[in-house]
Each structure stands twice: as structure tokens, then as C-alpha cells.
Structure 1
Amino acid sequence: MTSEKLDLTEARIHYAVANGPIFLMEKLKTDPTTVGLSKRTSRELIKRIQNDLTVKPRSLNQLTRPYVHLVALGLTRDIQSMRKVAKLGSENYKWFSTIANMLLDETSPATIVKLANVKQPTVRIETSAGPTSAKLP
């Protein structure tokens, strides 16, 4: 895969001023480059992420790139691809796993299930940590 030139101007600024992974993720969700990349196929974005994670970052562009691709994948709402990517990680990208799991949690469906002999409905929520259930008041 050839290295495509991306306009990471805004993304670099978001990364530079980010005080945590939630801030960075939320800013990248509205970043024009990230939004544009979300129109690509999940397969292509996964390949880009895998390539990004093999690079030891030597510039702010290289440091920002995997997060842009990750959030773009999250915007596709492809839960299977997000599950795959959430298993990846790299010591060079300290917030990658955290952001991947937050995006996966946002993508995971929540359903209300009525259980037999239960007066209140029970909510079943699938998260990256696995399914959980809770009774509604």
C-alpha cells in the first residue's frame, strides 16, 4: 500500500493539545480528514492501521496517523472490524487501545430483553469486555 498524503493539520493540533484519549477521540470524529477517510472500506482502514502501528513515530504526523485511521474506522460503525482492531495495540501509541475500546463500546448494540418471570425488563449491553445485564427500574 502506498503512503497517501493526508492533511493532518487539524489532527496534529488536536493531538498536541489533547489532555486525554476521550478529548482526542471526540475531536477526531469531526476532523475533515477523519470524516473523509470514513468513506473508505473497513478493510482498507484496517490495513492502514496495521501499517501505522508498525512504524515507530518520529514525527507528529506519524504519531497522529493511526488515531485518525482508527477513529475513521469507528465512524463506519463496522462492529466486526472494530473488534478486530481493538485487539491490536502498540507501545508507541499509548492511547490506541483505550480509544479502540471506547469506539467499540459506542458501536456495540444494546438491546432490551424481556426475561421470563421477571417483572422489569432487563437491558443487555454488549461491550468490549463482554455482555452485561441490568434490570431497569
Structure 2
Amino acid sequence: MFTPVSTRAASAYKRVSVETSVDGASPHELVNLLFDALLQSMSLARAALERGDLALKGAQLSKAVRLIEEGLKAALDDAGGEVAGNLRTVYSYAVRCLTEANLKNDVDKIGEVIGLIEPIADAWKQIGK
């Protein structure tokens, strides 16, 4: 089976666009990209769960956990002192909530984490201005 040219072109454009965004980004912009991807992943997981698409829900929550653990949490520096420590605690709690949401199909837990992450992401974006 063949994929239409327009679909392949759109997919290629998306890959190049993402790679270009990452390659040319400052460390601050990279964290913005992580927050954007995390919020998008959690929103997709919540919508998938509401539709009963458990496979997509699981894939998106796994992605969200990886973004937190391997991206946001890993980027924290001990030089950040108390702020970095507090963020590490919030990120660990978010991972626990997302894991529980995945195991129990709990849409409210996903919403809770979105509610925790959005203000942090917004504050991070304000720092860049």
C-alpha cells in the first residue's frame, strides 16, 4: 500500500521543521520545546482515554514520562539550589501521577499534572522575554 505524496511530504516537512527547531535552539528554547511536547502529549493522552483508545493513551503517557525524566528532570542543575530541588520534587510527583493515570485509566490524574505543569511552563516562557 502506498502513502499519498502529500502525506509523505507533510511528514518529511514536520521532521525537518522539528530538527531545525532543535538544532537552532538555545538551552532556554529547548526547555520550551520540552514543555510544549509534554503538554501536547498529556492532552493527546487525555483525549485518547476519553475516546477509549487505550493504546494511544499508553503511548502518549509513556512519552510524557520520558519527557519529564529524560528532559526536564535531567536538565535540572544542582546550582539551581532550592528552585531546582522543588522542581525535581514536582516532576517526580508528576511522573507518579501519570503512571497511576496510565494504570488506572484516570483522566483526572492527567488533568492534575497538566494543571501542575502549565504554570511552570508559562513562567519559563516569561523568563525568556
| TM-score normalised per structure 1 | 0.28
Q: Answer 1 or 2: which has greater strand percent.
A: 1
| TM-score normalised per structure 2 | 0.29
Choose 1 or 2 for highest CA Rg: 1
For CA contacts below 8 A with separation 6 or more, give which structure has more relative contact order.
2
Q: Answer 1 or 2: which has greater helix percent.
A: 2
